[in-house]
Amino acid sequence: MPRREKYLHVIFWCILETSLWLALVNWLLPLMLKSQPGYGLFMDQSLAIRWSVGFLVMGANTLLTIVWYNWEEQKENVQRQRDAEKLAKDAELFKLRQQLQPHFLFNSLNSINALIGSQPQAARKMIQQLSDFLRGTLKKEEHQSVTLKEELQYLQLYLDIEKVRFANRLSAIIETEESTWEMKLPALLLQPIVENAIKFGLYDTIGEAVIRITTRSEDNLLIIRVENPFDPETSSPQKGTGFGLNSVQRRLYLLFARTDLLVTEVKENIFVTVVKIPQ
């Protein structure tokens, strides 16, 4: 393909090749028509017409070739751009997931450190649960999505760890429709949502807190609702949801190109997070 400033060269080559073609025809036609009367006059009178027709044919062929190569080049550029965007999206998704693990790990290690002196048995139990949790994390890194049933099993490991930290102050109620068990969602999506619920439900309070998780199917969407109580005097979730929910919202946007898949609301002293996963 010529560069844009070289298209005059293309016209020059069209003229040159047309002239060479005409010279070849002028050499061959006398050999073919020498027995025909008046061929010399025909050759002389049709020279300009034959050259013009040859130039038009050569120019049209060249134009079609340039258009075809431009189209092929444009397709390659679009594909390269898609590949680059996919790599960037995958890299950002990986970064988001990697950022979540240290956040949770530091909290768990701090809790284990606090339990070692006063409750060594609970500390050992929490270490074992943390080990199982992290082992499950490594296995799930290979999969972009999992079934709801698998995700809830993984979430239960996380809740068991948190129950060691908060003892009887934390309880969780999980209510799911059986029809949603095999529906797909991004792996490790629920843990930061529940962690946010525990943060606002227990960190700034001294009483008990019940985290309620419900799932249902509607209009080809998996809808997950997480509710937690909070103290309006010490917590203000409506002013910001922190890294956890922001990362979930960003991840959903990268995967589904929609900004309406995570919604939060406050009803009296209940903070509600609703996530919708397209199927």
Structural domain count, the chain: 2
Check residue 161 and report its DSSP letter. Answer: H
Do 103 and 209 lie in one domain? The reply is yes
- pLDDT given for residue 261 in this prediction: 95
| Residue 83 belongs to some domain of the structure | no
| Residue 140 belongs to some domain of the structure | yes
Q: pLDDT by residue (tens digit) across 84-117? A: 777 777 777 666 666 656 767 787 788 788 888 8
Angle at CA of residue 269, ends 268 and 275, nearest 5°:
90
Do 146 and 49 lie in one domain? The reply is no
Rounded to whole angstroms, how far apart are CA atoms 169 and 229?
Answer: 12
Do 140 and 252 lie in one domain? The reply is yes
Do 116 and 233 lie in one domain? The reply is yes
| Residue 141 belongs to some domain of the structure | yes
Q: What average pLDDT does the segment 165-182 reach? A: 89
Question: For the ranges 55-69, 126-140, 265-279, which has the lowest average pLDDT?
Answer: 126-140
| Residue 238 belongs to some domain of the structure | yes
Q: pLDDT by residue (tens digit) across 186-229? A: 888 898 899 888 888 787 667 788 999 999 999 999 999 999 98
Do 99 and 234 lie in one domain? The reply is yes
Residue 56 lies in domain: 4-78
For the cut 50, the answer to whether the pLDDT of residue 238 exceeds it is no
Check residue 250 and report its DSSP letter. Answer: H
CA distances from 65 to 72, 77, 169 (A): 11, 18, 74
Do 154 and 204 lie in one domain? The reply is yes
Do 123 and 164 lie in one domain? The reply is yes
| Residue 118 belongs to some domain of the structure | yes
Last residue of a domain, one of 16, 44, 78: 78
| Residue 240 belongs to some domain of the structure | yes
- pLDDT given for residue 181 in this prediction: 93
| Residue 32 belongs to some domain of the structure | yes
Do 42 and 176 lie in one domain? The reply is no
- pLDDT given for residue 115 in this prediction: 83
Q: What average pLDDT does the segment 56-65 reach? A: 83
Q: What type of residue is 219?
A: D
pTM for the predicted model, two decimal places: 0.64
Token output for 265: 């609301």
Question: Is the separation of the CB atoms in 14 and 62 below 8 Å?
Answer: yes
Would you give the distance in Å from CA 169 to the centre of its chain? 38
For the cut 60, the answer to whether the pLDDT of residue 236 exceeds it is no
| Residue 19 belongs to some domain of the structure | yes
Q: What average pLDDT does the segment 111-132 reach? A: 84
SS (H, E, C) 35-98: CCCCHHHHHHHCHHHHHHHHHHHHHHHHHHHHHHHHHHHHHHHHHHHHHHHHHHHHHHHHHHHH
Q: pLDDT by residue (tens digit) across 149-166? A: 999 988 988 888 888 778
Do 140 and 53 lie in one domain? The reply is no
- Work out the pLDDT band at 2, boundaries 50, 70, 90: low
- pLDDT given for residue 6 in this prediction: 67
CA-closest candidate to residue 271, choices 229, 216, 209: 229
- Work out the pLDDT band at 239, boundaries 50, 70, 90: very low
Do 98 and 193 lie in one domain? The reply is yes
Q: What average pLDDT does the segment 17-27 reach? A: 81
Do 211 and 233 lie in one domain? The reply is yes
The CATH number covering residue 272 comes to 3.30.565.10
- Work out the pLDDT band at 264, boundaries 50, 70, 90: very high
3-state secondary structure of 278: strand
- Work out the pLDDT band at 237, boundaries 50, 70, 90: low
Do 23 and 103 lie in one domain? The reply is no
